[in-house]
Amino acid sequence: MTKKTKFKIDGWLNLNKPVGIGSTPALGAIKRAWHPEKAGHGGTLDPLADGVLPIALGEATKTVAYAMDADKEYEFTITWGENRATQDAEGAVTATNDARPTKAAIESALPRFIGRISQIPPQYSAIKIDGQRAYDLARAGEVADIKPRDVEIYELTLLEAALDHARFHMTCGKGTYVRAIARDLAEALGVCGYISRLTRTRVGPFTLSASISLDLFGQSGVQPDPKAVLQPVQTVLDDIPALAVDEAETARLRRGMGIDFVSRANASRLPDGVHLGPFLAVSYGGIAVAMVRLEGGFVVPERVFNL
């Protein structure tokens, strides 16, 4: 069998993943359409969830960690009356009750879930326990000993309150499980509840309103032109300090060499905050050159982009 040619395609695709397909098959559809040399995604979405799934292609795969760490926004619906093993519609019913929370009760309970809170991830999650995924242990009938972890909830608001369900909007930091929020909120209200709809509306700079439908990447027909829909590699790096480098400095960094910034003239070019961690070196043409760090008066490359 002849191997298909791989193409050098670099950048981020802001994909709108539909319900009913996992993140890996969604990524697979992009790979079949464009045949990139490298591809990955910036944050898993369950098959029952839809919305923003950032796809990194080529050199953008070197910045996936920044997408994973970015703030995220969700809209979700909790259906009252049942607990599910997975905390979503996929799981078996584990408990039921007839109690239904009032709008006032829900709004009164929300403040305790805002700020830095302790959260235990769901049993059906990708957390590793002694080298095994928690969801594999759960499917085998075992209860994993999952430790609580601190997460940051910046906003949690009630959008709609009906008799059997309520709809919410949430802005949160990395590592937050929406299913755990639903589980713990239902428990705080003294009712049963599970996530019946979940849409991710933002991951860092990627928003649902600007996303590209997966339907455009079908098996037949004309595929979207990558140049028309991809965002630059440095899209997920917009919030970190950036240093403009000239042609000679660009060449040095791309060869893995450092740049002398001991002199006062050069030191004055450094952006604020570079001492806190890696920052971005950008050519005067606006192209990402490398992730760099300041080390003893020298700017040295950590990860070079081949763009």
Taking the chain (307 residues) in runs of 10, the rounded mean pLDDT of each run is 80 96 92 93 89 96 93 97 91 93 97 94 62 57 70 97 97 93 96 97 96 83 84 92 92 93 84 85 90 91 93
Q: Tell whether 134 is covered by a domain.
A: yes
Q: Report whether 95 contacts 217 (CB < 8 A).
A: no
Q: How far apart are CA 303 and CA 254, in angstroms?
A: 9
Q: Residue 116, SS3?
A: strand
Q: Are residues 244 and 153 in the same domain?
A: no
Q: Tell whether 4 is covered by a domain.
A: no
Q: Tell whether 131 is covered by a domain.
A: yes
Which residues are catalytic, by number?
A: 46
Q: Tell whether 5 is covered by a domain.
A: no
Q: Are residues 188 and 221 in the same domain?
A: no
Q: Tell whether 252 is covered by a domain.
A: yes
Q: Are residues 37 and 142 in the same domain?
A: no
Q: Are residues 90 and 190 in the same domain?
A: yes
Q: How far apart are CA 227 and CA 213, in angstroms?
A: 16
Pairing type for strands 72-80 and 82-84 reads: unpaired
Q: Report whether 66 contacts 236 (CB < 8 A).
A: yes
Given CA atoms 280, 281, 282, 287 in this order, what sign does their dihedral have? negative
The number of folded domains in the chain is 3
DSSP string, 34-67: H-BSSEEESS---TTEEEEEEEEEGGGGGGHHHH
Q: Are residues 94 and 50 in the same domain?
A: no
pLDDT score, position 132: 59
**What's the CATH code of the domain at 121?**
3.30.2350.10
pLDDT score, position 145: 61
pTM, entire model? 0.89
Q: How far apart are CA 151 and CA 168, in angstroms?
A: 18
pLDDT score, position 131: 62
Domain range for residue 281?
240-304
Q: Report whether 307 contacts 288 (CB < 8 A).
A: yes
Q: Are residues 60 and 77 in the same domain?
A: no
Q: Report whether 52 contacts 16 (CB < 8 A).
A: yes
Model confidence over 217-270: pLDDT tens digits?
875 567 888 989 999 999 999 889 999 999 999 999 999 999 998 888 788 888
**Residue 187 is inside which H or E element, if any?**
helix 178-189
Q: Are residues 36 and 118 in the same domain?
A: no
Q: Which two tokens stand for residue 193?
A: 């509840």
Q: Are residues 290 and 264 in the same domain?
A: yes
The DSSP secondary-structure symbol of 189 reads H
Q: How far apart are CA 37 and CA 204, in angstroms?
A: 25
Q: Are residues 24 and 80 in the same domain?
A: no
Q: Tell whether 3 is covered by a domain.
A: no
* Cα distances (angstroms) measured from residue 80 to each of 77, 96, 98, 177, 299: 10, 9, 9, 18, 55
Q: Are residues 66 and 170 in the same domain?
A: no
Q: Residue 200, SS3?
A: strand
Q: How far apart are CA 82 and CA 43, in angstroms?
A: 28
Residue where a domain stops, chosen among 220, 235, 250: 235
